């Protein structure tokens, strides 16, 4: 990795000068070079000397190297390392061309197993844009770990036994709703937009309906009951529609884990025994929780403030936190029991999707994952913290269980109006129970329409199939990038028009830069220009900026794996695109004479490094748009 070689070289030069163990970092601005050290400050505080004087002594002892051209002193005592640009450029470009799209993604994982759970949408509705943020985050993490040599298993938890499932069954079994949606409507939309909403409205007016819902919820947990079979059948129909949406976003899955099977395969029974043996589980004998099995949270500094948590209700039904504890043990490879599976379907890449099945004949060896990452929004912070606490009490390392938290998504007022909702609010928050949400497919369709209109203007000669393919790719890039570019601890206000712009901080901007680069490669091929990795002695500023952005990519990948802060990885894709477009505007390739071969090598390096990054972010690749 080129930029790390600069760091290593800087550290080596300091060590040879008699200063081992110095820390090297990236300067805040390129004007200060490619690396810096604050060693003079650290030494000055101990020796009670002037940092500038110490810096001068250090620099006087440093020898020149082939990679680092100069070491400069900057007030009030920094050491700035400047590279030999022709050599640095040659190293970077040759490394990219050698490794191709795998550049920046080392085999650091060495087959270590990572388990990632994402999506996990209740099978009672179509996916909305908030769910899409979960899908895109989880899919990015799975792609990142896979590309860095890890063995990755992707799970989708199917809550087919909770209260929301009971509400659907109530509608179909007790309230007379047909199990067939109206013509032209998908089953997941029908369940979420009509049955679920209407049942909730009627339950608010009639307490007896709520009592029936509770009874159905209890029956769903009884394996073999009519409610159990019906819930499974309904959930499966909804799930098929939901995963069509997820496939459209580019996500794939290995295992679909039914919540009802967490009970059927006795995962909770094992967790119950272990928690009871640990002394943290007790039966409440009085108060509002009388007859319930609760987990004692008094030993937790934060969780204790809201009281103990019910895991088994007085009627014997388990809470979702209880089921999640049992499931967490299994995910971590700490359970003595395992699921059986059957083949549920295929991913877009042709690989099997397995689903838990008591009568299944397939097995899946997930082993003992190094870590389990659970992509779950911030509103589940307390339940997730309870799970980690329960794990610790059972002697399981809670550090292996990671809650990857993110904030919800709202829709801008402008976008809400585009989708037919009149509002004067600056942003619209979603509520499934009230029917206020914006379906992923609905948004993707709208984005595709916008892209199609613009694409037809630019390419009236394209056939319908190509126009649809390109427009769909632009739509997916628009949505994925918009949902991934923000800090995960910040709410996303999604705007359809803004996300689809070809200029600015958008997915289409990145796609367009790659298409532009491919066009240069095509023209160069026609002009018989050959790639030449030997740089000129003097590089243009835009060439340096592009090379620098490419050289920094491996370090950003490494930092993302360590911190799981994905924003920097995502926004670096746009940074690369910006640097390439600056290069494109200021440095002609085809007509640049003896510089053409090197500049073509730089274009090729951009394509390979950018596409490798886009593969992880999940942005489609277009050679024309």
For residue 160, give the nearest of 152, 151, 169, 147 by alpha carbon. Answer: 169
Q: Which domains does the chain have, with CATH numbers?
A: 2-83 (3.30.1360.70), 89-97+103-107+501-617 (1.10.730.10), 411-499 (no CATH)
d(CA 110, CA 417): 49
Q: Pairing state of beta strands 401-404 and 352-356?
A: unpaired
Residues in the chain: 625
Q: What is the pLDDT of residue 293?
A: 98
CB count in 10 Å sphere of residue 139: 26
For residue 224, give the nearest of 170, 176, 264 by alpha carbon. Answer: 264
Q: What is the pLDDT of residue 412?
A: 86
Tokens of 359: 């009568």
Pick out the chain residues at pLDDT < 50. Answer: none
Tokens of 154: 């992707």
Give residue 394's Cα distance to chain centre.
Answer: 30
Report the SS3 class of residue 625: coil
Cβ(291)–Cβ(406) below 8 Å: no
Q: What is the pLDDT of residue 200?
A: 86
Cβ(257)–Cβ(155) below 8 Å: yes
Alpha-carbon Rg of the chain, whole angstroms?
Answer: 28
Report the SS3 class of residue 474: helix
CB count in 10 Å sphere of residue 258: 25
Cβ(520)–Cβ(589) below 8 Å: yes
Q: What is the pLDDT of residue 87?
A: 97
CB count in 10 Å sphere of residue 26: 16
DSSP calls for 40-81: HHHHHHHHT--HHHHHHHHHHHPPP-SSEEEEEEETTTEEEE
Cβ(84)–Cβ(67) below 8 Å: yes
Q: Give Cβ neighbours of residue 464 (< 8 Å, ≥ 6 apart).
A: none
N- to C-terminal Cα distance for the chain?
A: 32
493 Ramachandran zone, left/alpha/beta (phi>0; psi -120 to 50)? beta
Q: What is the pLDDT of residue 287?
A: 93
Q: What is the pLDDT of residue 213?
A: 85
Q: What is the pLDDT of residue 418?
A: 74
CA distances in angstroms from 123 to 120, 137, 281, 422, listed in the order given? 9, 20, 31, 28
d(CA 513, CA 171): 51
d(CA 449, CA 441): 12
CB count in 10 Å sphere of residue 1: 19
- Kindly report the CA angle at 304 between 302 and 305, in degrees rounded to 5? 75
Q: What is the pLDDT of residue 238?
A: 97
Q: What is the pLDDT of residue 535?
A: 97
d(CA 518, CA 474): 17
**What percent of the chain is helix, strand and coil (3-state, nearest 5)?**
55, 15, 35
């Amino acid at each position: 990795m080129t930029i790390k070689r600069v760091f290593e070289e800087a550290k080596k030069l300091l060590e040879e000068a008699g200063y081992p163990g110095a820390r090297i970092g990236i300067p805040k601005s390129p004007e200060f070079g490619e690396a810096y050290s604050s060693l003079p400050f650290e030494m000055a505080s101990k020796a009670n000397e002037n940092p500038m004087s110490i810096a001068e002594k250090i620099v006087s002892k440093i020898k020149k190297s082939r990679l680092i051209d100069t070491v400069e002193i900057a007030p009030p005592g920094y050491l700035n390392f400047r590279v030999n640009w022709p050599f640095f450029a040659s190293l970077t470009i040759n490394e990219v061309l050698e490794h191709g799209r795998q550049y920046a993604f080392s085999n650091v994982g060495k087959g270590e197993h990572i388990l990632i759970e994402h999506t996990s949408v209740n099978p009672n509705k179509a996916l909305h844009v908030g769910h899409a943020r979960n899908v895109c985050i989880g899919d990015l993490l799975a792609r990142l770990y896979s590309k860095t040599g890890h063995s990755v298993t992707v799970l989708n938890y199917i809550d087919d036994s909770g209260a929301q499932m009971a509400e659907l069954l109530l509608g179909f079994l007790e309230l007379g709703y047909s199990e067939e949606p109206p013509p032209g409507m998908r089953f997941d939309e029908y369940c979420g937009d009509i049955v679920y909403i209407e049942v909730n409205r009627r339950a608010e007016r009639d307490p007896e309906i709520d009592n029936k819902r509770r009874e159905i919820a209890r029956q769903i947990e009884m394996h073999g009951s009519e409610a159990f079979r019906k819930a499974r059948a309904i959930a499966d129909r909804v799930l098929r529609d939901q995963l069509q949406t997820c496939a459209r976003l580019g996500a794939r899955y290995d295992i679909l884990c039914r919540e009802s099977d967490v009970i059927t395969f006795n995962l909770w029974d094992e967790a119950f025994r272990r928690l009871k043996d640990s002394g943290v589980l007790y039966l409440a004998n009085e108060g509002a929780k009388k007859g319930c099995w609760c987990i004692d949270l008094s030993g937790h500094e934060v969780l204790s403030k809201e009281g103990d948590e019910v895991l088994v209700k007085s009627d014997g039904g388990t809470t979702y936190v209880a089921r999640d504890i049992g499931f967490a043990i299994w995910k971590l490879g700490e359970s003595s029991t395992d699921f059986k599976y059957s083949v549920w379907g295929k991913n877009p890449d042709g690989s099997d999707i397995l689903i838990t099945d008591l009568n299944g004949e397939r097995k899946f060896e997930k082993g003992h994952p190094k870590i389990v990452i659970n992509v779950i929004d911030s509103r589940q912070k307390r339940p997730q913290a309870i799970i980690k606490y329960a794990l610790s009490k059972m002697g399981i390392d809670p550090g292996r269980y990671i809650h990857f938290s993110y904030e919800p998504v709202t829709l801008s007022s402008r976008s809400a109006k585009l989708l037919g909702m009149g509002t004067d609010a600056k942003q619209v928050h979603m509520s499934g129970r009230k029917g206020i949400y914006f379906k992923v497919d609905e948004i993707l369709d709208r984005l595709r329409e916008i892209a199609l209109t613009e694409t037809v203007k630019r390419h009236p000669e394209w056939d319908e199939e190509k126009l649809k393919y390109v427009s769909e790719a632009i739509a997916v890039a628009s949505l994925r990038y918009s949902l991934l570019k923000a800090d995960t601890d910040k709410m996303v206000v999604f705007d359809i028009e803004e996300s689809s712009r070809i200029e600015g901080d958008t997915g289409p901007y990145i796609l367009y830069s790659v298409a532009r680069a491919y066009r240069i490669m095509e023209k160069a091929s026609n002009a018989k220009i050959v790639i030449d990795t030997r740089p000129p002695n003097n590089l243009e500023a835009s060439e340096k900026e592009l090379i620098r952005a490419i050289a920094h990519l491996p370090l950003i990948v490494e930092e993302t794996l360590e911190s799981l802060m994905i924003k920097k990885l995502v926004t670096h894709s746009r940074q690369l695109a910006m640097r390439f477009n600056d290069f494109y505007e200021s440095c002609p390739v085809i007509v640049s004479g003896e510089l053409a071969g090197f500049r073509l090598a730089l274009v090729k390096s951009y394509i390979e490094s950018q596409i490798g990054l886009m593969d992880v972010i999940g942005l489609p690749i277009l050679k024309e748009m």
